[in-house]
Amino acid sequence: MVAKIDTIKVIPSPPQQIHEQLSEQRLELTNALQTTLELRHLFQLFGEQIQAFIPHDGYHYYHPSLRETVEHGFKARHTCYAELHLNAEDYGLLVLYRNRAFSTYEMNVLDSLASCLIYPLKNITLYQQAMQAAHTDALTQVANRRALEENLRRECILALRQKSPLSIILIDIDHFKSINDNFGHDEGDRLLASVADCLKDCVRASDIVYRYGGEEFVILLSHTPIEGAELLAERIRYRLEHHTDSKLCGLPVTASFGVSALKNQDDGPQSLLNRADKAMYRAKMMGRNQVEIE
Q: Of 212, 215, 210, give the one whose Cα is nearest residue 180.
A: 215
Cα–Cα distance measured from residue 55 to residue 69, given in angstroms and rounded to the nearest whole number: 21
273 neighbors 145 (Cβ within 8 angstroms): no
Q: Of 170, 145, 195, give the one whose Cα is nearest residue 279.
A: 170
In terms of phi and psi (left: phi > 0; alpha: psi -120 to 50; beta: otherwise), the region of 173 is beta
276 neighbors 294 (Cβ within 8 angstroms): yes
For residue 215, indicate whether it is catalytic. Answer: yes
Q: Catalytic pick from 106, 155, 215, 292?
A: 215
Q: C-alpha angle with apex 26: 20 to 27, nearest 5 degrees? A: 110
Cα–Cα distance measured from residue 76 to residue 95, given in angstroms and rounded to the nearest whole number: 11
| Neighbouring residues of 160: CB distance < 8 A, sequence distance ≥ 6 | 262, 264, 265, 267
64 neighbors 92 (Cβ within 8 angstroms): yes
Element containing residue 173 per DSSP (H, E): strand 166-173
| Beta-strand pair 291-293/255-261 | parallel
Element containing residue 125 per DSSP (H, E): helix 118-134
CA–centroid distance for 156 within its chain? 19
DSSP state of 65: T
Amino acid identity at 43? F
Q: Which residues are catalytic?
A: 215
